Amino acid sequence: MRFRATFSALVLSAGFAVAALPAAAATNVVYILDASNSMWGQIEGTAKIETAREVMGSLLADVSEGTTVGLLAYGHRSEGACDDIEVLSGLGAATPEALVAKLGELKPKGKTPIAGALKAAGGVFPTNDANNNVILISDGIETCSGDPCAVASELATAGVDTKVHAVGFDVDSAAREQLECIAEKGNGSYYNASNADELKVALAEVTEVVEAAPEPAPEPEPEPEPEPVATQFFFDDFESELSEDWVVNNPNPDAFIVEDSNLLMINSANAVFNNENSQNLIVLKRDLPKGDWDAHMTFTGEFKTGKDSVTFGLYKDAKNYLTGQFWSNSGCCGCSHAGVGIYKNSNGTITKFERAIIGKSIGCGAGLNEAGLAAELTENETRPVRLSIHKRGRSYHVTADRGERTEDGTPIIVETDPLTSLRAPGDLALVIGKWKQADGEVLVNVDSVEIVSVSE
């Protein structure tokens, strides 16, 4: 699946593979607009349906010659019907003015039958030998028990060059995951928009990409760039007492010890970087490498409180840091999961990205039950976790590896989106504990801390 992380965060791509098509192949685009009840939700004081109407209206009123457009909507006629899907216009069946008028008539009411809407969109194309594109704009997840990923795959394989693209408009993590799946299975692209401006900025790019002429055959692939060179800058495997390189903030000698080549730490209290009273917050008082670097913390642990936390990153004080965190969150009814996150606190303003590492995504309904999470976390009492923070220029991201592997032995590594910091916000530090009050205590064995200098 292709992904473009630009300022607009949203580009509807209707590109095509010219090698499989005759030169005069038609360009067909069927837009699917979510008109379910959730589209009454507001962003910056404006209902999402109103923003979508404006963006879609501008797009449909300015389609160039050679591109034929169809329009489909769902969830706008009935509150509970899963067949509330309407082809508002077949390909080329309505004037731009008529299409804009149809958008104005939509009144969000009902469910989100994405799978059914994709099937209906496929039926709009007269043939499968054209450059056919489906562009789905949705703010939510399938609510009619369909399998939209499977339908997208069927559409992509049925045509010579059919692509299904998905646009997430102010979506949560579960909806984003499903829309990404639709785009991946549909041979298309997923793009994310969180506000009206991002949709509007994307409009110009959408028009350009959908109506662009086929590109010539690509040039031969260039020689691969040399791999970055990694050089170990610092390494501590805690063979003896805690070295003089480390300083312990709010020390509690009864809650940490170095023995058997491990830094053993225990905590029954809240302990994260934004808590200035966190006990045994251990800071490395050494300069970091110039330029790019990776820092790795490898550990095992007993994570049984349901609110466990291992924090590793750059720390100045409780209001200034940039850090990675491995955490668990136990709850009933499919709400239990564990995740990895990157968190930046700049003078008290917090920015973050989080990804699930146990469970399909963050949020209820996509996690495990409490017993399932506990069983997964038990694996890491003996199988090490590697929590890493990576600096590239002024960009930082976090990865986590729980020791899981694919069938071919490839490590399964979960990666966050990047955050930017103009200056390094502090020294490398670590702390363990709970991110929220809960019964029990967290026990972690830190096997090693490593810093690697990275150069091109």
Q: pLDDT tens for the chain, 456 residues: list them.
A: 333 333 233 333 333 333 333 344 567 889 999 999 999 999 989 999 999 998 888 888 777 777 888 999 999 999 989 999 999 999 988 888 899 999 999 999 999 999 999 999 999 988 877 788 889 999 999 999 999 999 999 998 887 678 888 888 999 999 999 999 999 999 888 888 888 888 776 655 655 655 654 555 567 778 787 788 889 999 999 988 899 999 999 999 999 999 988 999 999 999 999 999 999 999 999 999 999 999 999 999 999 999 999 999 999 999 999 999 999 998 877 788 899 999 999 999 999 999 999 988 777 767 788 888 999 999 999 999 999 999 999 999 999 999 999 999 899 999 999 999 988 889 999 999 999 999 999 999 999 999 999 987
CB neighbours of residue 353 within 10 Å = 16
Helix ranges, 391-450 (H) = none
Name the 3-class secondary structure at 81: coil
- Please check whether residue 35 is in contact with residue 49, taking contact to mean a CB–CB distance below 8 angstroms: yes
Burial of 188: CB neighbours in 10 Å, binned 0-12, 13-18, 19+: buried
| Residue 292 dihedral angles phi and psi, to the nearest 5° | -85, 150
Cβ neighbors of 73 (< 8 A, separation 6 or more) are 32, 33, 34, 35, 85, 86, 88, 106
Sign of CA dihedral 264, 266, 271, 276: negative
CB neighbours of residue 212 within 10 Å = 14
Structure tokens at 355: 């990804």
Q: Is domain 229-455 given the CATH code 3.40.50.300 in the classification?
A: no
Name the 3-class secondary structure at 150: helix
- Please check whether residue 32 is in contact with residue 136, taking contact to mean a CB–CB distance below 8 angstroms: yes
Sign of CA dihedral 359, 361, 367, 373: positive
In this structure, which amino acid lies at residue 195? N
- Please check whether residue 334 is in contact with residue 367, taking contact to mean a CB–CB distance below 8 angstroms: yes
What CATH code is assigned to 18-211?
A: 3.40.50.410
Sign of CA dihedral 377, 383, 384, 385: negative
Residue 352's closest CA among 394, 324, 311? 324
Residue 324's closest CA among 248, 237, 431? 431
Longest dimension (CA), the chain: 78
Helix (H), strand (E) at residue 367: none
Q: Where are the domains of the chain?
A: 18-211, 229-455
DSSP secondary structure code for residue 243 in this structure: P
Helices 96-104 and 48-60 pack at an angle, to 10 degrees, of 170
